[in-house]
Amino acid sequence: MSGPGIPSLAALLAAVLLLLCTPPPAEAAGRAATRDDPARCALPGTTGWTDEGHDTDDTVFQRPLGTIAVGMIFVDFPDAPATESPGTDSARITPGADWLWFASHGKTWLSISEHRRWVRMPHRSTDYGFARGLTHETHEAYIADAVRAADPSTDFSRYDMLYVVPTRNAAAISFTPTYLYEPGTPGVVADGNRLRWAVTFGQDMWHWDERLVGHETAHTFGLPDLYAFDAGSDAHRFVGGWDVMGLISGAGPQYLAWHAWKLGWTDDGQVACRASTGADTVRLTAVEYGGGTAMAVVRTGPTSAYVVESRRAVRADERACGTGALVYKVDSSVPTGKGPVRVMDARPDATPPSGCRPLDDAPYRAGQSFTDAAAGVRIDVLSSDGLGDTVRVTKS
C-alpha cells in the first residue's frame, strides 16, 4: 500500500530520471511572429458530459493535478463469498498509480489507501443490475451499499474518490464503470464527505492490466471514451491503440497531447496554434518525454481541429508499433463513444506489423504529408529523429 500523498520509491526515482532525460524545449524552426494564441485553438465543450472541450466543468469532474486521495474497499456477497486475499485483487489495480504518474509526467499521483478486509454486501451479486445494463441510479445504489458496509471500519472523510473492488468470485459484477456524482441529487455521503467520484471494478480487471486505472480514473477528469460504443466490425476503428481512452491494452497508450493539454499536464507554451490563415514550421518533441512543443493544432471550425504530435516507442509507448507524426481530428461536439477523436492513417492499405492492429502504424514519417483540401489543412513532415519530428502546418 502506498502511503497517502507519497509516491512509491520507483515513481520518485523515475520522476528524477524523467527530469534528467527530458530534452529541453525545442523552439519551432523559423517560428512565425504571427503564430496564433493557443487559446484560439482550445475547443469548447458542447455535449454536457465527457468530451474533448477544453473548458472542463470542475463542478462535475475532478482536477487531475497533484495528489488525489483514493480509498479502496473490498466487497463480497451472500452468493459469492470471497475466498482470496484482498491483496490478490489490489495487486491488479495499485500499479495503476505509478502508470498514471508516469503518463502525466509527474503531474498526478493517486495516493491509494487500501482497507484490506472483505465487507459483506447486503444483496446478492446478481441483484445489482450489471447484467441488465447499469443505470446511474443502480450504480449509485451499489456504491452506497458498499460504503455502508465498510463505514464502521473506514473513515471516508479522508478521500477524494473511491475504488470498490469485488471478490473474484462475483462473476455477476462483470465490468468496471466510473461513477460521477450528479449535482443536485442526494448522492452518497459518508463521514460528512460527499463521494463525488468512484470506480467500481469488475471481473474485466482480470483481463486488463494496470492501465485500466488510467482509463477509468481519467473519466473522473472529464475524458471521453475513444472506442466505438457501436462496435460494428471494429470497436477501435477511430483511434486504434493510440491513447488509453481507446484500447486499454493498446500498443501506444500514452494520453494524446490534446488530452494532456485539456488536463493541464501540458501548458499553453507547448502548443503551436494555427487558427488563422498561414503556416508554421514546428519542432515537436515526442509526447512521451513531456517537454518541448507537444503539438501543433490547426483550428478548422467552431468545435473542430486537426492535431499533429510526435510519438516514439519509449516510456508508456515502449511497445508502440509505429513512430512518427501522429495526425488526428478532434471534434468536441461528438459525444463519448462516437469518435470525438479520429486518427488519420498514413498507410491505410498497409498490413499492420505482426501483433499490431489497424491504425497502430498510422504515424506519418519524414517526406509524407496529410491534406484535407475541404478544410484547407496541410501537414508536412519535414524531418525526424529519435526525439521528435519537425512539421510544417498550413491553413489556407
Q: Which CATH number belongs to the domain containing residue 185 in this structure?
A: 3.40.390
Looking at the fold, whether 258 and 303 belong to one and the same domain comes out as yes
Domain that holds residue 141: 66-219
Do both 204 and 347 map to the same domain? no
The pLDDT value recorded for residue 183 is 93
User: Per the structure block, which three cell numbers stand in for 217?
Assistant: 480514473
Q: Examine the pLDDT at 14 and tell me if it is beyond 80.
A: no
- Could you tell me if residue 200 is inside a domain? yes
Whether residue 115 is contained in a domain is answered as: yes
The fraction of the chain above a pLDDT of 90, given in percent, is 88
In this structure, the answer to whether residues 162 and 268 fall within a common structural domain is no
**Distance (Å) of CA 261 to CA 52, 64, 100, 127, 197:** 11, 12, 15, 41, 22
Q: Is 47 exposed, middle or buried (0-12, 13-18, 19+ CB in 10 A)?
A: middle
Higher-confidence position of 113 and 12: 113
| Cβ-Cβ contacts under 8 Å for 295 (sequence gap 6 or more) | 257, 258, 261, 266, 270, 271, 272, 284, 287, 307, 308, 309
Across 11-26, average pLDDT: 44
In 3D space, the residue among 30, 29, 35, 27 whose CA is nearest the CA of residue 274 turns out to be: 35
* pLDDT at residue 48, as a whole number: 87
Average pLDDT, stretch 125-132? 93
pLDDT, one tens digit per residue, over 362-380 is 999 999 999 999 999 999 9
**Of 16, 19, 4, 226, nearest to 97 (Cα)?**
4
Residue 67's pLDDT band (boundaries 50, 70, 90)?
A: very high
* pLDDT at residue 35, rounded to an integer: 87
Statement: residue 327 has pLDDT above 70: yes
- Cα–Cα distance, 136 to 134 (Å, whole number): 7
- 214 with 340, same domain: the answer is no
With beta carbons less than 8 A apart as the criterion, state whether 68 and 161 touch. Answer: yes
Q: Give the model's pLDDT for residue 299.
A: 98
Q: What's the confidence (pLDDT) of residue 10? A: 47
Which domain-ending residue is among 173, 190, 219?
219
Q: Note the residue count of the chain.
A: 396
Q: Does residue 229 belong to any structural domain of this protein?
A: no
C-alpha cell of residue 215: 482509463
Residue that is last in its domain, among 186, 219, 252: 219
* Residues 94, 46 share a domain: no
Q: Give the mean model confidence (pLDDT) for residues 316-335.
A: 97
Is there a single domain that holds both residue 316 and residue 373? yes
Identify whether 130 is part of a domain.
Answer: yes
pLDDT at 33: 46
Q: Residue 160: name the closest of 106, 124, 111 by CA.
A: 111
Average pLDDT over residues 165-183: 97
192 in the same domain as 241: no
Q: Are residues 310 and 383 in the same domain?
A: yes
CB atoms within 10 A of CB 371: 13
- Place 286 in a pLDDT band, splitting at 50, 70 and 90: very high
Residue ending a domain, choose from 219, 252, 279: 219
Does 139 lie in the same domain as 244?
A: no
Residue type present at position 343: V
Question: Mean pLDDT across the stretch 104-114?
Answer: 98
- Residue 10 within a domain: no
Average pLDDT over residues 258-274: 98
C-alpha 246/C-alpha 257 separation (Å) is 14
Indicate whether 49 belongs to any domain.
Answer: yes
| In-domain check, residue 8 | no
pLDDT in tens, 27-53: 433 444 478 999 999 999 999 899 999
User: Does a structural domain hold residue 197?
Assistant: yes
- Statement: residue 289 has pLDDT above 60: yes
- What is the total count of domains within the chain? 2
CA atoms within 13 A on the CB side of 46: 13
Pick from 329, 299, 324: nearest CA to 310: 324
Query: Which of the four pLDDT bands, split at 50, 70 and 90, describes residue 25?
Result: very low
Whole-angstrom CA distances from 234 to 19, 322, 359 are 39, 20, 11
Are 151 and 264 found together in one domain? no
What does the pLDDT average to over 266-270? 97
Considering the chain, what percentage of its residues have pLDDT values greater than 70? 92
CB 108, CB 7: distance < 8 Å: no
Q: Could you tell me if 286 and 390 lie in one domain?
A: yes
Is the domain of 246 the same as that of 388? Answer: yes
**pLDDT band of 75, cuts 50, 70, 90:** very high
Query: Is 4's pLDDT higher than 50?
Result: no
